[in-house]
Structure 1
Protein backbone atom coordinates (compact mmCIF):
# COMPACT_ATOMS: atom_id res chain seq x y z
CA UNK A 1 0.00 0.00 0.00
CA UNK A 2 1.25 3.51 -0.81
CA UNK A 3 1.41 5.36 2.50
CA UNK A 4 2.11 8.74 0.94
CA UNK A 5 -0.22 11.46 2.18
CA UNK A 6 -1.14 14.65 0.40
CA UNK A 7 -0.43 17.68 2.55
CA UNK A 8 -4.01 18.94 2.12
CA UNK A 9 -5.19 15.76 3.88
CA UNK A 10 -3.71 17.08 7.13
CA UNK A 11 -6.22 19.91 7.21
CA UNK A 12 -9.03 17.44 6.46
CA UNK A 13 -8.04 15.23 9.40
CA UNK A 14 -7.54 18.15 11.78
CA UNK A 15 -10.97 19.54 10.85
CA UNK A 16 -12.74 16.19 11.23
CA UNK A 17 -11.34 12.62 11.12
CA UNK A 18 -14.64 11.45 9.63
CA UNK A 19 -14.37 13.97 6.78
CA UNK A 20 -10.81 12.77 6.21
CA UNK A 21 -11.95 9.13 6.04
CA UNK A 22 -14.82 9.86 3.67
CA UNK A 23 -12.41 11.58 1.27
CA UNK A 24 -9.27 9.47 1.61
CA UNK A 25 -10.67 6.04 2.57
CA UNK A 26 -14.12 5.91 0.98
CA UNK A 27 -13.08 8.19 -1.91
CA UNK A 28 -16.19 10.40 -1.86
CA UNK A 29 -16.32 14.12 -2.48
CA UNK A 30 -18.90 16.85 -2.96
CA UNK A 31 -18.68 20.58 -3.54
CA UNK A 32 -20.46 23.43 -1.85
CA UNK A 33 -20.12 27.21 -2.03
CA UNK A 34 -17.05 27.19 0.23
CA UNK A 35 -15.10 24.63 -1.82
CA UNK A 36 -16.06 26.38 -5.06
CA UNK A 37 -14.81 29.72 -3.74
CA UNK A 38 -11.62 28.06 -2.50
CA UNK A 39 -10.99 26.51 -5.91
CA UNK A 40 -11.48 29.88 -7.61
CA UNK A 41 -9.07 31.54 -5.19
CA UNK A 42 -6.34 28.97 -5.81
CA UNK A 43 -6.75 29.27 -9.55
CA UNK A 44 -5.99 32.97 -9.23
CA UNK A 45 -3.00 32.34 -7.00
CA UNK A 46 -1.52 29.44 -8.98
CA UNK A 47 -1.48 31.32 -12.27
CA UNK A 48 1.33 33.73 -11.44
CA UNK A 49 4.96 33.51 -12.53
CA UNK A 50 7.97 33.86 -10.18
CA UNK A 51 8.92 37.45 -9.55
CA UNK A 52 11.47 39.52 -7.66
CA UNK A 53 10.61 42.57 -5.56
CA UNK A 54 13.65 44.06 -3.92
CA UNK A 55 15.23 41.47 -1.66
CA UNK A 56 12.23 39.10 -1.81
CA UNK A 57 11.64 36.49 -4.51
CA UNK A 58 8.13 35.04 -4.90
CA UNK A 59 7.73 31.48 -6.21
CA UNK A 60 4.21 30.13 -6.82
CA UNK A 61 2.80 26.59 -6.82
CA UNK A 62 5.95 25.08 -5.32
CA UNK A 63 5.99 21.26 -5.31
CA UNK A 64 6.78 19.65 -1.96
CA UNK A 65 7.87 16.24 -0.74
CA UNK A 66 9.10 14.66 2.48
CA UNK A 67 10.58 11.18 2.49
CA UNK A 68 10.74 11.15 6.29
CA UNK A 69 7.07 12.03 6.78
CA UNK A 70 5.73 10.44 3.59
CA UNK A 71 4.15 13.66 2.32
CA UNK A 72 3.64 15.20 -1.09
CA UNK A 73 1.81 18.32 -2.18
CA UNK A 74 2.34 21.91 -3.16
CA UNK A 75 2.28 25.32 -1.56
CA UNK A 76 0.58 28.41 -2.90
CA UNK A 77 3.49 30.79 -2.44
CA UNK A 78 7.08 30.67 -1.23
CA UNK A 79 8.76 33.93 -0.26
CA UNK A 80 12.56 33.89 -0.31
CA UNK A 81 13.87 36.86 1.69
CA UNK A 82 17.57 37.66 1.27
CA UNK A 83 17.53 41.06 2.99
CA UNK A 84 19.18 39.59 6.10
CA UNK A 85 20.57 36.17 5.25
CA UNK A 86 18.34 33.59 3.60
CA UNK A 87 14.80 33.09 4.91
CA UNK A 88 12.11 30.87 3.40
CA UNK A 89 8.53 31.82 4.27
CA UNK A 90 5.72 29.50 3.12
CA UNK A 91 2.41 31.28 2.47
CA UNK A 92 -0.98 29.56 2.21
CA UNK A 93 -4.10 31.22 0.80
CA UNK A 94 -7.49 30.45 2.38
CA UNK A 95 -10.91 31.69 1.35
CA UNK A 96 -12.36 32.30 4.83
CA UNK A 97 -11.05 34.06 7.91
CA UNK A 98 -8.58 33.33 10.70
CA UNK A 99 -9.63 30.55 13.08
CA UNK A 100 -8.97 29.86 16.75
CA UNK A 101 -8.40 26.19 15.86
CA UNK A 102 -5.11 25.16 14.25
CA UNK A 103 -6.52 23.39 11.14
CA UNK A 104 -4.91 25.80 8.66
CA UNK A 105 -1.73 26.27 10.71
CA UNK A 106 -1.13 22.51 10.80
CA UNK A 107 -1.27 22.31 7.01
CA UNK A 108 1.15 25.24 6.73
CA UNK A 109 3.49 23.65 9.26
CA UNK A 110 3.55 20.44 7.21
CA UNK A 111 4.61 22.50 4.20
CA UNK A 112 7.44 23.99 6.25
CA UNK A 113 8.60 20.55 7.38
CA UNK A 114 8.78 19.43 3.76
CA UNK A 115 10.73 22.55 2.76
CA UNK A 116 13.20 22.07 5.59
CA UNK A 117 13.95 18.55 4.42
CA UNK A 118 14.14 19.48 0.74
CA UNK A 119 16.31 22.59 1.05
CA UNK A 120 18.24 21.79 4.25
CA UNK A 121 17.21 24.96 6.06
CA UNK A 122 15.41 25.89 9.28
CA UNK A 123 12.09 27.67 8.85
CA UNK A 124 10.82 29.64 11.82
CA UNK A 125 7.60 31.10 10.48
CA UNK A 126 5.10 31.23 7.65
CA UNK A 127 1.88 33.06 6.87
CA UNK A 128 -1.74 32.46 5.93
CA UNK A 129 -3.54 35.03 3.80
CA UNK A 130 -7.33 35.03 4.29
CA UNK A 131 -9.39 36.16 1.33
CA UNK A 132 -12.55 37.05 3.24
CA UNK A 133 -10.85 39.49 5.61
CA UNK A 134 -7.93 40.42 3.30
CA UNK A 135 -5.56 39.88 6.22
CA UNK A 136 -2.28 38.05 6.58
CA UNK A 137 -1.70 35.97 9.71
CA UNK A 138 1.85 35.20 10.75
CA UNK A 139 2.40 31.64 12.04
CA UNK A 140 5.32 30.57 14.23
CA UNK A 141 6.45 26.98 13.80
CA UNK A 142 7.12 26.30 17.47
CA UNK A 143 7.79 22.92 19.06
CA UNK A 144 4.15 22.34 19.99
CA UNK A 145 2.81 23.01 16.49
CA UNK A 146 5.47 20.81 14.91
CA UNK A 147 4.72 17.95 17.32
CA UNK A 148 0.98 18.16 16.73
CA UNK A 149 1.50 18.24 12.96
CA UNK A 150 3.61 15.08 13.03
CA UNK A 151 1.12 13.36 15.36
CA UNK A 152 -1.75 14.09 12.97
CA UNK A 153 0.28 12.68 10.07
CA UNK A 154 0.73 9.43 12.02
CA UNK A 155 -2.94 9.28 13.06
CA UNK A 156 -4.17 9.99 9.53
CA UNK A 157 -1.95 7.29 8.07
CA UNK A 158 -3.14 4.78 10.71
CA UNK A 159 -6.76 5.58 9.89
CA UNK A 160 -6.13 4.83 6.22
CA UNK A 161 -4.42 1.55 7.10
CA UNK A 162 -7.32 0.52 9.34
CA UNK A 163 -9.83 1.45 6.65
CA UNK A 164 -12.42 2.57 9.20
CA UNK A 165 -14.59 5.68 9.12
CA UNK A 166 -15.03 7.34 12.54
CA UNK A 167 -18.39 8.64 13.81
CA UNK A 168 -19.27 12.32 13.27
CA UNK A 169 -18.01 15.01 15.58
CA UNK A 170 -20.37 16.41 18.19
CA UNK A 171 -19.63 19.96 16.98
CA UNK A 172 -22.73 20.41 14.83
CA UNK A 173 -21.79 23.89 13.60
CA UNK A 174 -18.65 22.44 12.04
CA UNK A 175 -20.73 19.75 10.32
CA UNK A 176 -23.03 22.30 8.70
CA UNK A 177 -20.05 24.05 7.08
CA UNK A 178 -18.69 20.80 5.62
CA UNK A 179 -19.07 20.12 1.90
CA UNK A 180 -19.75 16.45 2.71
CA UNK A 181 -22.71 17.17 4.99
CA UNK A 182 -25.31 15.52 2.76
CA UNK A 183 -23.14 12.48 2.13
CA UNK A 184 -22.08 12.16 5.76
CA UNK A 185 -25.57 12.47 7.29
CA UNK A 186 -24.14 13.25 10.76
CA UNK A 187 -27.51 13.89 12.45
CA UNK A 188 -28.90 10.56 11.30
CA UNK A 189 -25.81 8.74 12.55
CA UNK A 190 -25.97 10.47 15.93
CA UNK A 191 -29.54 9.22 16.38
CA UNK A 192 -28.76 5.69 15.21
CA UNK A 193 -27.63 3.65 18.21
CA UNK A 194 -27.81 0.27 16.48
CA UNK A 195 -24.02 -0.04 16.13
CA UNK A 196 -23.53 0.51 19.87
CA UNK A 197 -26.34 -1.97 20.62
CA UNK A 198 -24.72 -4.68 18.51
CA UNK A 199 -21.31 -3.98 20.04
CA UNK A 200 -22.74 -4.28 23.56
CA UNK A 201 -24.23 -7.68 22.72
CA UNK A 202 -20.74 -9.11 22.39
CA UNK A 203 -19.29 -7.53 25.51
CA UNK A 204 -18.36 -10.13 28.19
Structure 2
Protein backbone atom coordinates (compact mmCIF):
# COMPACT_ATOMS: atom_id res chain seq x y z
CA UNK A 1 0.00 0.00 0.00
CA UNK A 2 1.48 3.34 -1.04
CA UNK A 3 1.49 6.21 1.40
CA UNK A 4 -0.81 9.07 0.46
CA UNK A 5 0.93 12.25 -0.64
CA UNK A 6 0.72 14.85 2.10
CA UNK A 7 -0.79 18.25 1.32
CA UNK A 8 0.64 21.29 3.14
CA UNK A 9 -2.01 23.43 4.81
CA UNK A 10 -0.56 26.56 3.21
CA UNK A 11 -1.08 25.01 -0.24
CA UNK A 12 -4.85 25.03 0.31
CA UNK A 13 -4.88 28.81 0.56
CA UNK A 14 -2.59 29.21 -2.46
CA UNK A 15 -4.73 26.85 -4.54
CA UNK A 16 -8.02 28.46 -3.55
CA UNK A 17 -6.59 31.84 -4.55
CA UNK A 18 -5.07 30.55 -7.80
CA UNK A 19 -4.42 26.91 -8.79
CA UNK A 20 -1.51 27.94 -11.02
CA UNK A 21 0.17 29.82 -8.17
CA UNK A 22 -0.06 26.68 -6.04
CA UNK A 23 1.31 24.57 -8.89
CA UNK A 24 4.32 26.83 -9.40
CA UNK A 25 5.14 26.66 -5.69
CA UNK A 26 4.53 22.92 -5.26
CA UNK A 27 5.92 21.55 -8.53
CA UNK A 28 8.63 24.03 -9.44
CA UNK A 29 9.55 25.44 -6.02
CA UNK A 30 9.00 28.88 -7.52
CA UNK A 31 8.24 31.88 -5.40
CA UNK A 32 8.69 35.64 -5.60
CA UNK A 33 8.34 38.25 -2.90
CA UNK A 34 6.79 41.67 -3.10
CA UNK A 35 6.02 44.24 -0.42
CA UNK A 36 2.94 42.38 0.85
CA UNK A 37 4.67 38.98 1.06
CA UNK A 38 7.63 40.52 2.88
CA UNK A 39 5.24 42.04 5.42
CA UNK A 40 3.62 38.64 5.80
CA UNK A 41 6.98 36.95 6.31
CA UNK A 42 7.95 39.45 8.99
CA UNK A 43 4.63 38.94 10.77
CA UNK A 44 5.00 35.16 10.69
CA UNK A 45 8.55 35.34 11.99
CA UNK A 46 7.12 36.77 15.19
CA UNK A 47 4.37 34.18 15.59
CA UNK A 48 6.26 31.15 14.26
CA UNK A 49 8.62 30.96 17.22
CA UNK A 50 7.55 27.76 19.05
CA UNK A 51 6.43 28.38 22.59
CA UNK A 52 3.49 28.95 24.85
CA UNK A 53 2.07 31.52 27.22
CA UNK A 54 -0.60 31.42 29.86
CA UNK A 55 -3.26 34.00 30.52
CA UNK A 56 -6.24 33.78 32.87
CA UNK A 57 -8.49 31.04 31.51
CA UNK A 58 -6.41 30.25 28.41
CA UNK A 59 -3.12 28.71 27.33
CA UNK A 60 -1.70 29.81 23.98
CA UNK A 61 0.49 27.49 21.91
CA UNK A 62 2.50 29.03 19.07
CA UNK A 63 3.89 27.35 15.93
CA UNK A 64 2.04 24.14 16.74
CA UNK A 65 2.58 21.28 14.24
CA UNK A 66 -0.68 19.59 13.19
CA UNK A 67 -1.76 16.87 10.78
CA UNK A 68 -4.75 14.82 9.67
CA UNK A 69 -4.03 11.24 8.62
CA UNK A 70 -7.32 10.60 6.81
CA UNK A 71 -7.18 13.75 4.69
CA UNK A 72 -3.40 13.63 4.29
CA UNK A 73 -2.85 17.16 5.59
CA UNK A 74 -0.01 18.62 7.61
CA UNK A 75 1.29 22.01 8.60
CA UNK A 76 1.78 24.46 11.42
CA UNK A 77 -0.79 26.60 13.24
CA UNK A 78 0.35 30.15 13.97
CA UNK A 79 -1.38 30.10 17.35
CA UNK A 80 -3.86 27.87 19.16
CA UNK A 81 -5.79 28.90 22.25
CA UNK A 82 -6.68 26.16 24.74
CA UNK A 83 -9.44 27.54 26.95
CA UNK A 84 -10.28 26.27 30.41
CA UNK A 85 -13.83 25.46 29.25
CA UNK A 86 -12.40 22.98 26.72
CA UNK A 87 -12.64 25.15 23.62
CA UNK A 88 -9.75 24.90 21.15
CA UNK A 89 -9.40 27.98 18.93
CA UNK A 90 -6.96 28.29 15.99
CA UNK A 91 -5.71 31.76 15.02
CA UNK A 92 -4.09 32.40 11.65
CA UNK A 93 -2.08 35.59 11.12
CA UNK A 94 -2.23 37.47 7.82
CA UNK A 95 -0.44 40.71 6.98
CA UNK A 96 -3.07 42.00 4.56
CA UNK A 97 -6.75 42.80 4.77
CA UNK A 98 -9.20 40.07 5.66
CA UNK A 99 -11.57 38.90 2.92
CA UNK A 100 -14.64 37.14 4.27
CA UNK A 101 -15.05 33.73 2.66
CA UNK A 102 -11.64 34.02 1.01
CA UNK A 103 -8.75 31.56 0.73
CA UNK A 104 -7.49 32.26 4.26
CA UNK A 105 -10.74 30.79 5.61
CA UNK A 106 -9.91 27.48 3.91
CA UNK A 107 -6.48 27.31 5.55
CA UNK A 108 -7.95 28.14 8.96
CA UNK A 109 -10.69 25.52 8.61
CA UNK A 110 -8.10 22.92 7.65
CA UNK A 111 -6.17 23.79 10.79
CA UNK A 112 -9.35 23.34 12.82
CA UNK A 113 -9.98 19.92 11.28
CA UNK A 114 -6.42 18.85 12.14
CA UNK A 115 -6.76 20.17 15.68
CA UNK A 116 -10.02 18.27 16.13
CA UNK A 117 -8.18 15.04 15.37
CA UNK A 118 -5.33 15.92 17.72
CA UNK A 119 -7.43 17.06 20.68
CA UNK A 120 -10.50 14.83 20.10
CA UNK A 121 -12.85 17.80 20.10
CA UNK A 122 -15.12 19.83 17.82
CA UNK A 123 -14.13 23.34 16.77
CA UNK A 124 -16.93 25.69 15.79
CA UNK A 125 -14.93 28.84 15.17
CA UNK A 126 -11.45 30.19 14.58
CA UNK A 127 -9.98 33.61 13.88
CA UNK A 128 -7.98 35.35 11.17
CA UNK A 129 -5.82 38.13 12.57
CA UNK A 130 -5.42 40.85 9.96
CA UNK A 131 -2.29 42.97 10.17
CA UNK A 132 -3.99 45.60 7.99
CA UNK A 133 -6.60 46.52 10.58
CA UNK A 134 -4.91 44.85 13.58
CA UNK A 135 -7.89 42.87 14.71
CA UNK A 136 -9.33 39.38 14.69
CA UNK A 137 -12.04 38.26 12.32
CA UNK A 138 -14.22 35.35 13.40
CA UNK A 139 -14.52 32.46 10.92
CA UNK A 140 -17.28 29.89 11.56
CA UNK A 141 -15.98 26.42 10.73
CA UNK A 142 -19.26 25.17 9.28
CA UNK A 143 -20.08 22.18 7.08
CA UNK A 144 -19.82 24.19 3.86
CA UNK A 145 -16.29 25.30 4.69
CA UNK A 146 -15.33 21.79 5.78
CA UNK A 147 -16.47 20.36 2.44
CA UNK A 148 -14.47 23.06 0.71
CA UNK A 149 -11.35 21.94 2.58
CA UNK A 150 -11.86 18.31 1.53
CA UNK A 151 -12.48 19.21 -2.12
CA UNK A 152 -9.47 21.53 -2.38
CA UNK A 153 -7.24 18.98 -0.62
CA UNK A 154 -8.07 16.46 -3.33
CA UNK A 155 -7.44 18.99 -6.08
CA UNK A 156 -4.07 19.97 -4.62
CA UNK A 157 -3.08 16.31 -4.33
CA UNK A 158 -3.98 15.85 -8.00
CA UNK A 159 -1.56 18.68 -8.86
CA UNK A 160 1.17 17.08 -6.72
CA UNK A 161 0.75 13.72 -8.44
CA UNK A 162 0.56 15.20 -11.94
CA UNK A 163 3.12 16.72 -14.27
CA UNK A 164 1.17 19.61 -15.75
CA UNK A 165 0.78 23.03 -14.17
CA UNK A 166 -2.76 24.39 -13.86
CA UNK A 167 -3.56 27.00 -16.49
CA UNK A 168 -3.34 30.73 -15.76
CA UNK A 169 -6.41 32.63 -14.62
CA UNK A 170 -5.38 35.92 -16.31
CA UNK A 171 -7.80 38.09 -14.35
CA UNK A 172 -7.73 40.76 -11.63
CA UNK A 173 -5.95 38.41 -9.20
CA UNK A 174 -2.82 38.53 -11.34
CA UNK A 175 -2.22 42.23 -10.71
CA UNK A 176 -1.89 41.55 -6.97
CA UNK A 177 0.21 38.39 -7.32
CA UNK A 178 3.94 38.54 -6.57
CA UNK A 179 4.47 35.65 -9.02
CA UNK A 180 3.06 37.46 -12.05
CA UNK A 181 6.37 37.51 -13.95
CA UNK A 182 7.03 33.83 -13.24
CA UNK A 183 3.53 32.84 -14.32
CA UNK A 184 3.17 35.04 -17.45
CA UNK A 185 -0.65 34.78 -17.26
CA UNK A 186 -1.53 37.12 -20.13
CA UNK A 187 0.85 35.38 -22.50
CA UNK A 188 -0.10 31.84 -21.53
CA UNK A 189 -3.83 32.53 -21.48
CA UNK A 190 -3.55 33.36 -25.17
CA UNK A 191 -2.36 29.95 -26.40
CA UNK A 192 -1.98 31.05 -30.04
CA UNK A 193 0.18 33.99 -29.05
CA UNK A 194 2.20 31.71 -26.76
CA UNK A 195 2.78 29.17 -29.54
CA UNK A 196 3.88 31.94 -31.92
CA UNK A 197 6.27 33.31 -29.30
CA UNK A 198 7.79 29.86 -28.73
CA UNK A 199 8.20 29.37 -32.47
CA UNK A 200 9.90 32.75 -32.81
CA UNK A 201 12.29 32.18 -29.91
CA UNK A 202 13.26 28.61 -30.72
CA UNK A 203 13.53 28.56 -34.52
CA UNK A 204 16.43 26.55 -35.93
CA UNK A 205 19.66 28.57 -36.23
CA UNK A 206 19.73 28.27 -40.04
CA UNK A 207 16.23 29.66 -40.32
CA UNK A 208 16.97 32.50 -37.89
CA UNK A 209 20.09 33.52 -39.80
CA UNK A 210 18.00 34.12 -42.89
CA UNK A 211 16.34 37.08 -41.19
CA UNK A 212 19.62 39.01 -41.11
* Structure-1-length-normalised TM-score: 0.89
Equivalent residue, structure 2, for 1:200: none
Moved over 3 A (4+): 194-197
Query: What CA distance in whole angstroms lies between the structure 1 residues aligned with 2:127 and 2:119?
Result: 19
Query: What CA distance in whole angstroms lies between the structure 1 residues aligned with 2:50 and 2:27?
Result: 33
> 1:95-134 to 2 correspondence within 5 Å?
95-134=95-134
SS at match of 1:109: helix
Structure 2's unaligned 5+ residue stretches are 197-212
> 1:1-204 to 2 correspondence within 5 Å?
3-47=5-49, 49-82=51-84, 85-171=85-171, 173-193=172-192
Per mean C-alpha deviation after superposition, the further-off stretch among 155-164 and 44-53 is: 44-53
* CA-atom RMSD in angstroms: 1.9
Larger Rg: 2
Deviation at 1:114?
A: 0.6
Contact 2:170 2:186 survives alignment (8 Å)? no
Aligned length: 194
Deviation at 1:89?
A: 0.2
Distance 1:33 1:44, change over 3 A: same
SS at match of 2:153: helix
* Structure-2-length-normalised TM-score: 0.86
Deviation at 1:48?
A: 6.7
Deviation at 1:150?
A: 0.6
Deviation at 1:46?
A: 2.3
Structure 1's unaligned 5+ residue stretches are 198-204
